[in-house]
Chain A
């Protein structure tokens, strides 16, 4: 069975500074890994996904994540935070040939002006 642990429940950054959201995963097989963002009163939106191709994955809105098998991590970063990045972020894993998504508990990002 697969699972993810998001190491920070809340991250606060200043506008223009880097953002780091940490995620560790557990999976029995070659996992697919995703980051989703959820803005208030809006649906979950896919930021990026890893599916065993390049380990550095670029997503929308300047986000990227690096898959590190040795560390079982899939941390999300952005070099410069924008006010519009304030939202809830979920790290998600699915096992090989599995359609079921397993979500982490989420990280709330606050951006200070």
Chain B
């Protein structure tokens, strides 16, 4: 079956611009996660959705970052007034329920470059 997909695969933008990154989770998965992977580092947690609601957004670095999941499926990560430090690979994952040790399936990521 289809895995987690993310679009675009690459995004180049200029400092100060607004960007949206999309994630399509595995069908039927209620839990969705966003992580950010900077160069040479492991992914870092950003936000967790259970259904339509953000159950935990404690990893979002500041109020320029926002994510939605209006129908409990597709999610969009939105970054306002992008900065060069936002350059990273943004990973999306989904899992069937979201409980402890529930396997998270990762998408290939969106590589964001802010010039």
Chain A residues with CB under 8 Å of chain B are 32, 36, 41-46, 49, 51, 90, 92, 94, 96-106
Contact = CB atoms under 8 A, between A and B. Distances in A.
**Residue picked from A51, A100, A105, most chain B C-beta under 10 Å:** A100
B3 interface: yes
B45 A102 contact: yes
A98 B56 CA distance: 11
Contacts of B95: 99
B91 A44 contact: yes
Contacts of A102: 45
Contact of A42 (B42, B93, B108): B108
Contact of A97 (B93, B100, B104, B106): B100
Contact of B48 (A42, A43, A100): A100
Chain A interface, >50% SS class? loop
Contact of A49 (B4, B101, B109): B101
Contact of A101 (B4, B40, B45, B107): B45
B14 interface: no
A94 B93 CA distance: 15
B72 interface: no
Chain B interface, >50% SS class? loop
Q: Please classify how large the interface on chain B is, using the bins under 10, 10 to 19, 20 to 34, 35 or more.
A: 20 to 34
**Residue picked from B95, B102, B104, most chain A C-beta under 10 Å:** B104
B10 to A, nearest CB: 11
Contacts of B99: 97, 99
B90 interface: no
A44 B104 CA distance: 9
Interface in B64-115: 91, 93, 95, 98-109
B51 interface: no
Given A32-B100, A94-B100, A106-B41, A99 B106 contact: no
**Residue picked from A43, A45, A103, most chain B C-beta under 10 Å:** A43
B102 to A, nearest CB: 7
A32 to B, nearest CB: 4
Given A43-B107, A43-B108, A44-B91, A51 B100 contact: yes
